[in-house]
Amino acid sequence: MTAGPIPLEEAQARLLAAAAPVSIENVDPEGAMGRYLAEPLLARRTQPAADLSAMDGYAVSSYDLHGPWRLVGESAAGHPYSSRVRKGEAIRIATGALVPDGTGCVILQEDVARSDDFISLAGALPSPPGKHIRRNGMDFRSGDTVLKRGVLLGPAQIALAVTSGHRHIPVHRVVRVAVIDSGDELATGLECPSHQIPASNGIMLAAMIAGLPCRVTRLGPVPDDMTALSHVLAEAQEADIVVTTGGASVGDHDLIRPALENWGATLDFWRVAIKPGKPILVARRQSGNREQFVLGLPGNPVSAFVTAHLFLLPLIRAASGAERPLPVAVKAQLATPVPATGKRREFLRGRWDGTQVRVQQVQDSGALAALAESNVLIDRPAGSHEAEAGATVSIYPFASAGNA
């Protein structure tokens, strides 16, 4: 175990290097939404499978572009014209319809004058002649890799999978996450005495990860008692990831570390050089033929939120098979100045309008009102000088990821 706080990038790298994706299952396309592709997807068919019209109009030979033409039939989507088209003939064609044999040019309907069964050119010819034709294999061909492993499956990706010939999609199974609130100070009822606070971390973390492919079980709140902690950890036996909040520091009542050791977990690292969130803990436990991860997050709600954004969400994405699980920073201009930083890297809460970011005045790690008004974390490296309004900073939009 590292003696002192370690840099953020090192901590994230160590966490993700050990986070093997969970097992693979094949699901119907309807069940693949929001999941990560477990294997490269190869096309089982060619799209388009033949030349199709991209517009409504008339199909003629690309060697017969002067007209007039005699209209001899129609090609509609799903109902192709079956004969070969000869010189001097034209076919009425609809968008998505098969381009008839013998034709290679689709003239837009607004560029044609029709008189009974004859048409003549009344506007411009397409240039090149095949401009309005979607050629065979334009989108992809059989055997092409249409989706890479680790891509997040959204509506467009699912449509592509189906169109490329797949009725089942390989994804990693849903990650099982147990969230444990701990601390004598936590209250669950409507009545909250002055020496306690409502237990909000568990529901906050469950809401943060609700959009990821995971199933959350909330346990607790658990008092600062070794027996109670042992019982609740036993309830998390089947979880892939166990998340605790509170009790991971060094006080007399901080029992998470010894409780995890009694449970059979091995500490990977403890304390990261960030503010807020320094006392984050990462441990692993062998359970049968699989490994459980434990994240011990701080008890202060803002600290729990920040560390969940930087560690919990990436860990779930990695376990789900995401290619790029870490949050992605973007650049923004400060609307308000920010003070210099100390020895730790700081993540300030701010409100971003798409161009400028305004720093929240209250940055206390227990200030939920300021957190609720924020939509980004402002990344301030350790030892940074004061930054004036107008300066460029890196920000992390909430729930941001490389492909999520």
Q: State whether 389 and 300 are in the same domain.
A: no
Residue carrying the six token digits 């036993």? 234
**Of 319, 348, 369, which residue sits at a domain end?**
319
For position 404, what pLDDT does the model report? Answer: 44
Q: What is the CATH number of the domain that holds 273?
A: 3.40.980.10
How far apart CA 208 and CA 293 sit, in angstroms, is 18
- In angstroms, the CA 26 to CA 266 distance is 33
Q: Specify if 324 maps to a domain.
A: no
Kindly report each contact of residues 311-314 with a partner whose C-beta sits within 8 Å and lies 24 or more positions away, as own/partner. 311/11, 311/12, 311/15, 311/280, 311/282, 312/205, 312/208, 312/209, 312/241, 312/243, 313/208, 313/209, 313/212, 313/399, 313/401, 314/12, 314/15, 314/16, 314/401
- Domain count of the fold of the chain: 4
Residue with tokens 């459980």: 292
226: which 2 tokens? 């070794």
Give CA–CA dist 312/318, Å, rounded.
10
Query: What pLDDT shows up at residue 3?
Result: 65
Phi and psi at residue 171, to the nearest 5° = -135, 165
Residues 189 and 266 in one domain: yes
pLDDT at 2: 44
Same domain, 215 and 293: yes
Would residue 109 count as lying in a domain? yes
Contact 6, 143 (CB under 8 A): no
- For residue 271, is it left (φ>0), alpha (ψ between -120 and 50) or beta? left
Verify that 390 and 339 share a domain, yes or no: yes
> Which residue ranges of the chain lie beneath pLDDT 70?
1-3, 190, 247-253, 399-404
Q: Give the per-residue pLDDT at 92.
A: 98
Residue with structure tokens 């400060």?
334
Q: Give buried/exposed letters for 39-50 (b at 16+ CB in 10 A, else e).
A: bebebeebbbee
Residues 35 and 152 grouped into a single domain: yes
Q: Does one domain contain both 359 and 305?
A: no
Q: Which pair of tokens denotes residue 350?
A: 């701010």
| 360: three-class secondary structure by DSSP | coil
What is the extent of the structural domain holding 106?
A: 52-134
Determine the pLDDT at residue 36: 98
Q: How far, in Å, CA of 310 to CA of 90, rounded?
A: 62
Does residue 1 fall inside a structural domain? Answer: no
